[in-house]
Structure 1
Amino acid sequence: MTHKHKVLVTGGAGYIGSHVIRQLGEAGYDVVIYDNFSTGSPQAITQGKLVVGDLGNLERLYQVFAQHQFSTVLHFAASLIVPESVKYPLDYYTNNTRNTLNLLRCCQNMGVNQLVFSSTAAVYGEPKENPITESALTLPINPYGRSKLMSEWLIRDCGVSSSLRYVILRYFNVAGADSSGKLGQFSKNATHLIKLACDAVLDRRSNLQIFGNDFPTADGTGVRDYIHVEDLATAHLDALRYLEQGGESQVLNCGYGQGYSVRQVIEKVKTISGKDFPVIETQRRPGDPACAIANADKIHDVLGWKPKFNNLDKIIHSTLAWEVQKENFTSDLNTNIPIPHKLSLTS
């Protein structure tokens, strides 16, 4: 099926963005990726045309919008490590909030009226009830969550004052890798629990840390709703089609509605891999909530989203398979990655 629709994907070289651009390309969309490679990898780009640029560079952004007639923007580019946001809050407000403002200004001035935004369950903070519905209070407890909530406010206000229609997707804990083994988490600084546990299995780290064993949960460790990256990517295509069909603006949770504690995840990884590794319990990190589980009824109802990988074992299997396979073609990950010839490096 061929689309004439051209979409801009900011942060398309990142973990989630790269899975989305692969699905977009396979669905026949004309994709332009805008990425500064601060955390993304050129090797993650399997579809589309790449423009190297920073969202802080408004002039560059306007050039890209002027050159292409985008029907929709999918906005992934963001900083997303909670402890880092506590340490460097201004960097997070700059990259997440101000850069969303820049992007919205471009959309408004260049007549792009459809946006799919990558948000986070961190906007809920320490929820009073789990599973969390979209109408729950948004009281984020760290600068990462606040910077993303402020971005949501900007988008909503634009929606009120203009013809912008949007779908804001609030991700819970994203994990896993593309089942074909071609895509996964490339970033060297990833902080995802399942990825770190797989690193421990593969002797890339000597131990795994549990941050906090005194949370008010069944076993004292944090509980999270893990969603497979492929299902999350599909949710973006569903959101895009929904907007193309004239759907009204929405805020939707992306999760499975099932929580697992840090201890449970670690035990699953050990069982599936058949390998034990040392686990060190240490104090809580600032900004970590005790429990975050999605009520995902709304995304099923509104988008007709049908997840295929709703299973922690599948998520762990795909992550392990990717981490083993990654060695084969990214042995130079820690050296300078050669930029493919198709990249446009003009500034």
Structure 2
Amino acid sequence: MAVLVTGGAGYIGSHMVWALLDAGEDVVVIDRLSTGFQWAVAPEARFYQGDVADAPLLARIFAENSIDAVIHFAGSIVVPDSMSDPLGYYENNTVKTRSLIASTIAAGVPHFVFSSTAAVYGTPDSLQPVLETALLRPESPYGSSKLMSEIMLRDAASAHDFRYTALRYFNVAGADPRGRTGQSSAGATHLIKVACATALGRRQEMSIYGTDYPTPDGTCIRDYIHVTDLAAAHLKALERMRAGGGSLTANCGYGRGFSVRDVLDAVKTVHGSAFAIRVEGRRAGDPASIVADATLARTELGWVPKHDDLGGIIRSALDWEAHLMRKNSY
């Protein structure tokens, strides 16, 4: 059987493709290449360029390949952009996911892994790690668009022979330890990506957005997870469903947070030099602090992270950024 990876030419999707191939899986990729790169797709994967809402194309892909699972990464992910273009985010993340779910069910594919987000929680009531049972109150159209997709999956699974795993990502960072892929988009807003690019001179300066949050140093706190560990959680989710496990929603994070200033200090330490930082006002839609309680992923999926080290995450991101500089890729 094969696994269809949507958005497999993007940051997390390209890591997932390599992880599946490393595990001996047959892999099919669909990506419209709006933010991804075809060169980032492992050559052993079968690639289709197109949109996940293109029902005829999806029907052809399912007909041409023996697919038993879909892992869905395709979507828009920038919180501030979602505040200025909410309808675009609902179209790309919710409406198109609805089309993909419908095509998946119509093809009789029983397993679906969904790329969700900690943004569904908004700002928790305390600085304690957040459980999956916490109140869901997203503060951005991005978070709302992902929550709507989770609801669709829940309802579809209750009406059809169909199971899903929704993984709520915390802050994904780093790059493949073997140097095969990484975060490559020139306009990426991920903090560690931007800090590494600035440290290496690809940007003249970077910004801190808000220093007056109710956190120890006034900057936002996040739980940073290495992209390789995140891909491993998807493999575990697929394994569990194939073994008969039911639908599940689980957090993916390490359970400890770092502030923006913590991360920037760590990048300076790992890289060995300082870089220019500008302090600006808060961005709309940014929660003050959010850290995962990932007990469910560990117990239900048997997920055991192997890269829980901020310095190691940063080193892998710096190595990939240096690789992009050598390639002169953007």
Q: Say whether 1:112 aligns with 2:109.
A: yes
* Corresponding residue of 1:230: 228
User: How big is the shift at 1:174?
Assistant: 0.2
Which of 11, 14, 24 matches 1:18?
A: 14
- Give the residue type in structure 1 aligned to 2:227: V
- Determine the C-alpha separation between the residues in 2 that align with 1:292 and 1:305: 21
Q: Give the ranges of 4+ consecutive aligned residues of structure 1 lying more than 4 Å apart after TM superposition.
A: none
Unaligned runs of at least 5 residues, structure 1: 335-347
Matched letter for residue 22 of structure 1: W
Report the CA distance between 1:61 and its aligned residue: 1.7
Match of 2:165 in 1: 167
Distance 1:317 1:327 in 2: 15
Secondary structure of 1:163's counterpart equals: coil
Cα deviation for residue 326 of structure 1 reads 2.1
1:1-347 matches, cutoff 5 A: 5-46=1-42, 47-129=44-126, 130-328=128-326, 330-331=327-328, 333-334=329-330
Alpha-carbon distance, 1:280 to partner: 1.0
Q: CA deviation at 1:65?
A: 1.8
> Whole-Å Cα distance in 1 between the matches of residues 176 and 286 of structure 2?
28
Tell me the distance in 2 between the aligned counterparts of 1:25 and 1:99.
Answer: 26
Aligned counterpart, 1:345:
none
Q: What is the CA deviation profile of residues 111-168 of structure 1, one whole-angstrom value per residue up to 9, with x for unaligned ones?
A: 1111000000000011113300000011100000000000000000001111111110
Deviations 1:298-341 (A, max 9, x none): 1000011011100101001111111112223x32x34xxxxxxx
How far apart are residue 10 of structure 1 and its match?
0.4
* SS of structure 1 residue aligned to 2:29: strand
5+ residue gaps, structure 2: none
SS at match of 2:67: coil
- Corresponding residue SS for 1:51: strand
Would you say the 8 A contact 2:209–2:283 is kept in 1? Answer: yes
Q: Deviations over 1:54-113 (max 9, x none)?
A: 123222222212222310110010100000001111111111001110011111111111
Match for 1:281: what amino acid?
A: V
**Post-superposition shift, 1:256?**
0.0
Stretch moving more, 106-115 or 212-221:
106-115
AA paired with 1:18?
Answer: S
Determine the C-alpha separation between the residues in 2 that align with 1:293 and 1:241.
26
Separation in structure 1 between the aligned mates of residue 100 and residue 54 of structure 2, nearest angstrom: 10
Aligned length: 328
Taking the aligned partners of 2:86 and 2:300, their CA distance within structure 1 comes to 34
For 1:170, give the aligned amino acid.
R
Q: What secondary structure, in the 3-state scheme, does the structure 2 residue paired with 1:295 have?
A: coil
Q: For the residues of structure 1 that align with 2:226 and 2:300, how far apart are their CA atoms?
A: 20
Query: So what's the TM-score if we normalise by structure 2?
Result: 0.98
